[in-house]
Structure 1
Amino acid sequence: MASNSASEIVDAVGGPGNIASLTHCATRLRFQLNDGDKVDKTAVEAIPGVLGAVPQAGDRFQVVIGGGVQTVYNEIMALPVMAGGASAGGGADESIADIKARERAKGPRGTNAWLDSLFEFLSDSFRPILGALLGASLFITFMALMATLHVIPAWNAPGVTLDPSWAFVNLMWQCVFVFLPLMVAYNASQKIGADPWVGFSIMAVLMLPSFSGLATGVEKTPLFGFQQAQVAIVQVWGLPMPIADYSSQVFPPLLMAAVLGLVYKGLKKVIPENIQLIFVPFLAMLIMIPLTAFLIGPIGVYVGAGLASALAAINSFSPFIFAIVIPLAYPFMVPLGLHWPINAIMLLNIQTLGYDFIQGPMGAWNFACFGATAGVLVLAWREKDKQMRQTATGALAAGLLGGISEPSLYGIHLRYKRIYPRMLVGCLTGGLIIGIGSLVLGLPHGITTQAFVFTSLLTIPAFNPIGLYLVAVAGAFVVAMVLVIISGYKNPEPAGAAVAAATAGAASVAPGVARDSIPAVAGGAELAGVAGEGAATATATALADRPAAVGELIQLASPLDGTVVTLDQVPDPVFAGGVMGPGVAIEPTGDTVYAPGAGTVVAAQPTGHAFGLQLDNGAEVLIHVGIDTVNLKGEGFDVKVKNGDRVETGTPLVTFDRAVIEKAGYPLITPVIVLNGDTFDTVDPVALGPVTHGSPLLDVQKKA
């Protein structure tokens, strides 16, 4: 993305003065704005390189970029108008205290600000370590593949000793998950406004071998009856301290950080500013280390164990139901950030049970998501939609190779509402295959994995049984892809608005707009040919003067005298690439444009350069007189009709002065486009070469 695009993003979110702070995650720019109402969401989404935009309560705004988000973030921060950093960008004229006072006076924006804050806290505690988790999951998959191929023994089975070389490879992923609480503590503390290294240090106390050594010789017992939460109770200062294994735990650091944020704010209020650097961290650690060891840590272990037990009970009661519910729930959980706590439960399952039963059904959702993206990619190639092709290609690569759904979700699926229902059918298909397969094969826990992995093509070997998992994710992928290809993905629009937009001038049409964004118009009788001379004209009129039967071939009449050429001869990439739809172009020899059939004028531009017609048989026709002729502002055009007029075959639409257009240097070539061509089986030129108005121009066959 060029720096001018970075500048456009800043302008579209209200300018540098509206930006209180800016951060980024794996795929998105995350703005905290002074006034969320100043954002132009449409303008943001139109910027090249932007995959989508997500407004949130509390004046937060997210801009979805994809894998290149770091580069875009750096470009924005390097802009001269952002000098001093994004956190200062909201405030060339305001101090931090002024901003806080203004926000307090304004009050919460909307009733869901607290919920957005919770989701932001959960998401931002995990997202910065996404790369490390993804890398570790690939190491795990590699170990699982080696065990499947009998190169090494079951690497994670109890009592198995690996050769030092393979044991070292095993350490490459264990480092991430063993010390995961420290990473989460750092991110969560930073998010909550506390010193992240203080949060790290507090959690590190519970990770010390010496801390665990306090329980040497003490038998572990279930915490409040939960088998997943085994603790040893030791006496410290005469008080009972539960000591647990905190490796791979995430709920204890999340709860610790939440409380630490409150403690930090309180200490900063009572401690003079000139000595805060010394005493705030010290007193925070003095308060939080015992509080975390005695209370917060065990509560976090208990919360995680409780959630894990609840999900395990559902899965034990009916793996069939569980396999269907999980993939159908994930499409709604991921946009809210609710999937991150589930990831924590997966880790806890592996730690306590030795396997996880959630990731298998989750794979059905992921591959249905990627399948829908593949369907969009196929349509983008078919429609020569370069921008969507690039978006879908990047999102599909991130999904199939990395197991990351956000580029697909935010870049495509949430922008086009037609995709979600088709994707849910894919989720259901994958879930049914897993559920039925589990019943047939007698799998008490469904598909399981002994390691935490991202569900991608590369991690398929980590699942057991691999055959059932492979069939399920393939089914989810193919069903979602096929349904999107069949139905299309563009959001329906009112026909009049769509045609009006199309006739506003080719140069104003974004290259990403494809013809199936303009729906077929319901109803319709005839596509009338114009009255003319000769058998060909009579045939066209006869075919078009009655209702078109299903599968019948009808003909669209020529609106001009001239020479018919293919669209790729038009000196405009939108028309030449077929973006607006199928059709032909005419090099005019006359000076009048006629209606090619009976219908209604949906859009008659006052400049006379373009007309949108909604014909009686449902065909939507765009006639664009010349290229860039909108710049003449009506000079040389005598418009004969207006919006809403009824026209018949041969009704004059406009007369143009060839000399004026040619003197201005604009091409006279006139595209004739069937905007809703995807509703027909064929839209083909009758013949290339000389043509008179009223003669057959296009063969159009109605779909069966």
Structure 2
Amino acid sequence: MASKLTTTSQHILENLGGPDNITSMTHCATRLRFQVKDQSIVDQQEIDSDPSVLGVVPQGSTGMQVVMGGSVANYYQEILKLDGMKHFADGEATESSSKKEYGGVRGKYSWIDYAFEFLSDTFRPILWALLGASLIITLLVLADTFGLQDFRAPMDEQPDTYVFLHSMWRSVFYFLPIMVGATAARKLGANEWIGAAIPAALLTPEFLALGSAGDTVTVFGIPMVLNDYSGQVFPPLIAAIGLYWVEKGLKKIIPEAVQMVFVPFFSLLIMIPATAFLLGPFGIGVGNGISNLLEAINNFSPFILSIVIPLLYPFLVPLGLHWPLNAIMIQNINTLGYDFIQGPMGAWNFACFGLVTGVFLLSIKERNKAMRQVSLGGMLAGLLGGISEPSLYGVLLRFKKTYFRLLPGCLAGGIVMGIFDIKAYAFVFTSLLTIPAMDPWLGYTIGIAVAFFVSMFLVLALDYRSNEERDEARAKVAADKQAEEDLKAEANATPAAPVAAAGAGAGAGAGAVAGAATAVAAKPKLAAGEVVDIVSPLEGKAIPLSEVPDPIFAAGKLGPGIAIQPTGNTVVAPADATVILVQKSGHAVALRLDSGVEILVHVGLDTVQLGGEGFTVHVERRQQVKAGDPLITFDADFIRSKDLPLITPVVVSNAAKFGEIEGIPADQANSSTTVIKVNGKNE
């Protein structure tokens, strides 16, 4: 049977509207990011119902974010393997042609949406290097704390060992413009290596030999103001935007046959001087302007800034507006030697982690497995990695009361940060592991502890849900517990009569039990030689599953079985059974027959796109049904009018528990026609 990873990936893709509804796909540290053609056909609630999904967040009019936590890369790779998704590869070219390499921006999004996507997807790949470097910084700061070295001493005064250790983190920040240039260019659709080469030219020994930052030299007879571009973020961002337009213009005038040679040649020839003379100084000016504004506020009152920052972050992060502030933090360290945003930002992070810890403790008390899993992942990702997204999307944005528990923690922590005037002397992720990077670290520790425990205790005392949400969650936990107990009771029960081979005659039904009047609703194990006959749940022509025009069903990846070309319009239970899944869109239903066989009936192909239109569902999950009870009614003419195939796969989804499973074609099948035979497994 399919693994949990595969099942969840298929579930996400199907409820996004399938591959045809997706125009682009990437992922960040915690989220799968999709751009879709039609956001209205995305079933957000159905995606969110999967326990592995931490949350679903629409972005703008075309974006969808599916929060998966730390294992997001595994789901991303699995979705890429699914039919119709192989050509999506996180913005990477899969062909070497110049058309692919210089393909330009895919899709048309609103400028505001795309601006934040641009910032997010530019910094996303670099976060891994920044996180690694921040932990190396933390180790060196600890060495400074214990008197083993002076973290801020010039390199020519450091022992060789520590000079080498400093080079390990400085490499990330010194060459950050090259990384930003590459990722920004790739996001825009320009050549990422040209995007990297432009800022790299301004970091070469030859360029540095021209003079010191602030000097003016003459190049091509034109005065050029020199700047220190190491660690800068805004110059490569602006240069990448310029590169996109230059490449776009060059491709219009250069024949396609020679674009691979001359587009990069002229791009470098144009963009490096343009960046050195104009775009680079302009980018530094933009960064310095924002930094100076925030510094002025900080100089006026560090206390006010320390309160405003943690109160703003809970609203900035969901919108992606925190990315510019990350750039300003790096800018501050490069220009001022310290940063005044990271410390107060820690109050927001730890208030968030405190809240999710409170949720974790409540979920243990309530035996709520789903929330325990979500909150534990968010808590560990936050406390050890400084990453807030799993907590934010897994808990905070799902329950309307959470912000009233979070903001008091942000406020209290920010007040403490303001009292101690916390500063950071290196860019780090605010986790428990990076406390020593803050100054004074003891004041910072008190601040994050206050933020953490205020939010945690508010959750424990007042809950994180409304009364309705709490009662609903507790009822679901109680229902799940009762269902587990019922299943255990069924598994331990002894049937009053053994399973018999059922005939295919009228009224036999699938998996008929001898002495049905006295048999219990258990899940017996078929012995070798025993057979369960499953009749057609739908009137029509039964054809081999291999003829279904869908590679997943045709290959039996969802289980062996049969397919029905319907002439009727009602799916009925082929035997007494329990409904274990029914899609709200009405296009699929899964049953556990009293014989233990589990079947999936999928009405049509790609019919999820209809969003439930044309379908009427007659049952709900966990409902007991009798043979012949209607499950789903559909409007065949309406579905055909949408050019969607009506062929209906009927598959045995727990086939591994049985022996041979045979699909039986028939020109005319109905509720008295055996279409699947399930044989007991030989031990």
Q: TM-score, normalised by structure 2?
A: 0.67
What SS is found at the alignment partner of 2:337? Answer: coil
**Are 1:463 and 2:378 an aligned pair?**
no
Shift of 1:316: 0.6
Name the structure 1 match of 2:424.
Answer: 449
**Are 1:24 and 2:7 an aligned pair?**
no
Identity %: 51
Letter paired with 1:124: D
Shift of 1:418: 1.1
Per-residue CA deviations over 1:472-519 (Å, capped at 9, x if unaligned) read 100000001111122222355499xx77x99xxx9xx5x5999xxxxx
Name the structure 1 match of 2:407.
Answer: 424
Q: 1:494 to 1:316 in 2, by over 3 A?
A: closer
Name the structure 1 match of 2:67.
Answer: 64
Name the structure 2 match of 1:237.
Answer: 220
Contact 1:19 1:87 in 2 (8 A): no
Name the CA distance, whole Å, in 1 between partners of 2:403 and 2:236.
35
Letter paired with 1:279: F
What SS is found at the alignment partner of 1:404? Answer: coil
Name the structure 2 match of 1:484.
Answer: 459
Letter paired with 1:473: I
Aligned ranges 1:219-234 → 2 under 5 Å: 220=213, 231-234=214-217
Name the CA distance, whole Å, in 1 between partners of 2:18 and 2:123.
29
Aligned ranges 1:681-696 → 2 under 5 Å: none
Name the CA distance, whole Å, in 1 between partners of 2:381 and 2:432.
11
Name the structure 2 match of 1:52.
Answer: 55
Name the structure 1 match of 2:362.
Answer: 379
Contact 2:405 2:464 in 1 (8 A): no
Name the structure 2 match of 1:36.
Answer: 39
Contact 1:51 1:407 in 2 (8 A): yes
Per-residue CA deviations over 1:350-371 (Å, capped at 9, x if unaligned) read 2222211111111111100111
Name the CA distance, whole Å, in 1 between partners of 2:387 and 2:478.
24
What SS is found at the alignment partner of 1:194? Answer: coil
Name the structure 1 match of 2:207.
Answer: 211
Contact 1:449 1:463 in 2 (8 A): yes
What SS is found at the alignment partner of 1:80? Answer: coil
Contact 1:212 1:244 in 2 (8 A): no
Per-residue CA deviations over 1:399-418 (Å, capped at 9, x if unaligned) read 11111111111121111121
Shift of 1:204: 0.7
Letter paired with 1:187: T
1:196 corresponds to which of 179, 192, 199: 192
Name the CA distance, whole Å, in 1 between partners of 2:90 and 2:169.
36
Q: 1:414 to 1:494 in 2, by over 3 A?
A: closer
Name the CA distance, whole Å, in 2 between partners of 1:362 and 1:310.
18
Contact 1:20 1:87 in 2 (8 A): no
What SS is found at the alignment partner of 2:202? Answer: helix
Name the CA distance, whole Å, in 2 between partners of 1:34 and 1:418.
33
Number of residue pairs matched? 486
Name the structure 2 match of 1:76.
Answer: 79
Q: 1:370 to 1:629 in 2, by over 3 A?
A: closer
What SS is found at the alignment partner of 1:356? Answer: coil
What SS is found at the alignment partner of 2:435? Answer: helix
Name the CA distance, whole Å, in 2 between partners of 1:66 and 1:299.
38
Q: 1:512 to 1:237 in 2, by over 3 A?
A: farther
**Are 1:475 and 2:458 an aligned pair?**
no
Shift of 1:573: 8.9
What SS is found at the alignment partner of 2:215? Answer: strand
Name the structure 1 match of 2:242.
Answer: 259
Name the CA distance, whole Å, in 2 between partners of 1:355 and 1:321.
18
Contact 1:386 1:512 in 2 (8 A): no
1:156 corresponds to which of 152, 165, 187: 152
Q: 1:450 to 1:512 in 2, by over 3 A?
A: farther
Name the CA distance, whole Å, in 2 between partners of 1:54 and 1:328.
21
Shift of 1:287: 1.5
Shift of 1:569: 9.5
Q: 1:83 to 1:307 in 2, by over 3 A?
A: closer
**Are 1:249 and 2:232 an aligned pair?**
yes
Per-residue CA deviations over 1:355-398 (Å, capped at 9, x if unaligned) read 11111111111100111110111111111111211111111111
2:335 corresponds to which of 352, 363, 385: 352
Name the CA distance, whole Å, in 1 between partners of 2:74 and 2:622.
39
Contact 1:402 1:456 in 2 (8 A): yes
Unpaired runs of at least 5, structure 1: 89-95, 221-230, 439-445, 515-565, 575-608, 610-626, 636-704
Contact 2:27 2:76 in 1 (8 A): yes
Contact 1:387 1:512 in 2 (8 A): no
Letter paired with 1:458: L
1:287 corresponds to which of 246, 259, 270: 270
Q: 1:294 to 1:573 in 2, by over 3 A?
A: farther
> Structure 1 residues 383-392 or 482-491, which shifts more?
482-491
Per-residue CA deviations over 1:635-689 (Å, capped at 9, x if unaligned) read 9xxxxxxxxxxxxxxxxxxxxxxxxxxxxxxxxxxxxxxxxxxxxxxxxxxxxxx
1:571 corresponds to which of 486, 507, 510: 486
Letter paired with 1:308: S
Q: TM-score, normalised by structure 1?
A: 0.65
Per-residue CA deviations over 1:59-101 (Å, capped at 9, x if unaligned) read 121111111111101111112343444699xxxxxxx99xx9x
Name the CA distance, whole Å, in 2 between partners of 1:341 and 1:628.
46
Name the CA distance, whole Å, in 2 between partners of 1:87 and 1:407.
21
Q: 1:9 to 1:512 in 2, by over 3 A?
A: farther
Shift of 1:33: 1.6
Name the structure 2 match of 1:588.
Answer: none
Letter paired with 1:126: F
**Are 1:174 and 2:174 an aligned pair?**
no
Aligned ranges 1:411-560 → 2 under 5 Å: 411-435=394-418, 437-438=419-420, 446-491=421-466, 493=468, 509=476
Aligned ranges 1:358-397 → 2 under 5 Å: 358-397=341-380
Per-residue CA deviations over 1:5-33 (Å, capped at 9, x if unaligned) read 11111101001111222111111111122
Name the CA distance, whole Å, in 2 between partners of 1:408 and 1:290.
45
Contact 1:349 1:356 in 2 (8 A): yes
Q: 1:567 to 1:83 in 2, by over 3 A?
A: closer
Name the CA distance, whole Å, in 1 between partners of 2:408 and 2:479.
26
Name the structure 2 match of 1:691.
Answer: none
1:631 corresponds to which of 624, 633, 638: 624
Q: 1:236 to 1:86 in 2, by over 3 A?
A: closer
